[in-house]
Structure 1
């Protein structure tokens, strides 16, 4: 979530530096600036030339501009607090997923001794649906899923049955409808790491996955997902 804070911070404040952000939204400084402005405005009114008084509209416009600046700074402060809260909530949620089973959107799978289960989400019916695995050497293995109607299409990947070496593979789906649907893989979360990109989950059958790639999680077992 740290990256989300940085990107949002840059958009709100025009700075990447945390110290600059803090300085830019210091409400106590804004209050002091407003008080100084009022003091100077009163002094200007008291010492103006009685024969050529300053238009009161100018004072009101100046004060309105100052109030607007303070309101914007307060909004910036509130936005930063909300981002910090969201960061904390996301981290706590990710930590609570350890030993739970989740589904994640991915284009990579890790095949080992067990079976990797997942699903393809079709928006359109397909007369020919192919699940394609590509190893690190570029060798492709096509798994025929046959004709499918629109909706989720479950699949199982077993390296032994497929005659594949254990390892990491790219995964994609090719259909005769021209659609390139997304792939979701289900697995147990073994641990959660906090990184510059936010919480990163280690999911069995997938590997390291950013928190925002999770498409489903809960108390149900994998068998209940499909």
Structure 2
């Protein structure tokens, strides 16, 4: 590539094809680099020593490298466009969920006047299933769900019946089979916010939930 650069210095300010191309159209860096290379290659061919011409294989190898750079740039641009499209589709989908019931995976629950419904999905049957709620002070309340077969296990959390104060609780489930299944909570979407990480839904009884935490929508509440 040193020969190409040397030839470029011989062109002078009056012979700058790449500058005329850049002024005519708005091209990418890879395209400008390709145009520069072609201009310099032509200049080198014109100014090479006829008795000791440059090996054409070198030109081909260099041009192949530049073609790969341009292809990578095109792939990068396409990937960015797809990510923007996906983000827009997620936002539109999330906006359409306002007022609807959704299920989301959660490790926090907001208990208030209204009961919160949910379910756990057991992969294995369990002789003992315990749902634990931990408040902001670190006090844990265990709710026995008894023996359960593998599959979906519905439950309902009513703060008044459980004698719990309204507030935020950490929620988890432990079984005697050693399984720690995730918890799905159901709630109505009241608002959708757009953040740098994608749409965030405000779900009754749960709080702010990222769009990717939704496990089901378009169905009736549990």
Superposition TM-score tier, normalisation by shorter sequence: 0.7 to 0.9
Q: Secondary structure at the match of 2:130?
A: strand
Please tell me whether the aligned partners of residues 118 and 186 of structure 1 are also in contact (alpha carbons under 8 angstroms): yes
Deviation at 1:28, TM superposition (A): 3.1
Cα RMSD after superposing both structures: 1.2
> How much does 1:64 deviate?
0.6
- 3-state DSSP class of the match of 1:186? strand
CA distance in 2, matches of 1:157, 1:135: 14
SS in 1 for 2:65: helix
Between the aligned partners of 2:187 and 2:166, the Cα distance in structure 1 is 17
User: Tell me, which stretches of 5 or more residues in structure 1 are unaligned?
Assistant: 1-25
Report the equivalent of 1:221: 220
Alignment of 1:151 with 2:175, yes or no, is no
Q: If you compute each CA radius of gyration, which structure gives the higher value, 1 or 2?
A: 2
* Equivalence for 1:10: none
- State the secondary structure of the residue aligned to 1:35: helix
Once the two structures are TM-superposed, the CA of residue 36 in structure 1 deviates from its matched residue by 1.8
Partner of 1:20: none
TM-score, reference length from structure 1: 0.84
Q: CA deviation at 1:140?
A: 1.1
Q: In structure 2, what is the Cα distance between the partners aligned to 1:196 and 1:79?
A: 18
The answer as to 2:117 corresponding to 1:117 is: yes
Q: TM-score, normalised by structure 2?
A: 0.86
SS in 1 for 2:141: strand
Cα deviation, residue 32, structure 1:
2.5
Number of positions where the alignment pairs a residue of Structure 1 with one of Structure 2: 197
How far off its partner does 1:48 sit?
1.1
| Structure 1 residues 52-71: aligned runs within 5 Å | 52-71=52-71
Provide closer, same or farther for how the CA distance between residues 186 and 40 of structure 1 changes in structure 2, counting only shifts above 3 A: same
Identify the residue that residue 181 of structure 1 maps to in structure 2.
181
Per-residue Cα deviation, 1:2-51 (whole angstroms, up to 9, x for no partner): xxxxxxxxxxxxxxxxxxxxxxxx85332222122111101111211111
Distance in 2 (CA, whole Å) between partners of 1:41 and 1:113 is: 77
Shift of 1:56: 0.8
Aligned-partner Cα distance in 2 for 1:176–1:29: 61
Structure 2 regions of 5+ residues with no counterpart? 1-25
